[in-house]
Structure 1
């Protein structure tokens, strides 16, 4: 294989498998879920009586725990079709942003988000940069910065 062919194959690989990929939540290292797979995960959450909500953001920093809430949390739902309708509406309104589904277990002693997974990604995921800062006594401090936040909110993707 020539260098030119290798380079073309590498570019095709990068385009197809999206090398830079946000890995937050359940299933983040797997290929994107299909609508059928999403529906099955939602049906599982409903069978456990978990409340479901949909969130979106254009600032995917791992410490950004507060994404924008789409509508109201869905309590006491009986079928996944209701959630899938809300997902479809959110995707239409925010097609080029990150969208995730959360399932909250309010069982006494748990009272936590028990399932969270990304269901929509921007076409291009710019990734993060690592900043290293020298501190007192030769200590190193690290922080990460999302390339997406270099643009104003609403125009990042």
Structure 2
């Protein structure tokens, strides 16, 4: 199952050249860029681990791509996403976010059904990867 989150998620994975062009677009617009990673890509998991600090003062995409390469060396077996934030209104707003690295195998999610009072049925989405402990989900 292919995780689809953020921009470009229904397209084939972007090449590093295409990622560089997207990063440069963000920087040209004055947006701060950051890199995050996780081994729990559940759609409601908005708290991914941050790689380093947000890159506020970088003008060239090469600096971001260097950080991405370093992150891939350490966490290449996990999901890595790049996000761009606009602070021109006085608060940070996500302008662009997309996955730039995936594990080799994406086990997907299961749908759990729960019967409740009054014939109500509740559904929960659970990732198969979460059956394993953190740090060993894609090993």
Larger radius of gyration: 1
d(CA) in 2 for partners of 1:39 and 1:137? 53
Tell me the SS of whatever aligns to 2:2.
coil
TM-score (normalizing by structure 1): 0.86
Q: Which one has a larger percent helix, Structure 1 or Structure 2?
A: 1
Tell me the SS of whatever aligns to 2:98.
strand
Runs of 4+ in 1 over 4 A off after TM superposition: none
d(CA) in 1 for partners of 2:136 and 2:124? 24
Show the counterpart of 1:15: none
Show the counterpart of 2:51: 70
1:14-39 deviation digits (Å, cap 9, x = unpaired):
xxxxxx10001100000000000000
d(CA) in 2 for partners of 1:147 and 1:56? 18
Q: 1:35 aligned to 16, 21, 31, which one?
A: 16
Determine whether 1:155 maps to 2:136: yes
d(CA) in 1 for partners of 2:97 and 2:66? 18
TM-score (normalizing by structure 2): 0.97
Q: Which has the higher contact order (CA 8 A, sep 6+)?
A: 2
Deviation at 1:47, TM superposition (A): 0.8
Deviation at 1:109, TM superposition (A): 7.0
d(CA) in 2 for partners of 1:76 and 1:154? 32
Number of paired residues?
138
Q: Alpha carbon RMSD of aligned pairs, Å?
A: 1.0
Q: Which runs of 5+ in 2 are unaligned?
A: none
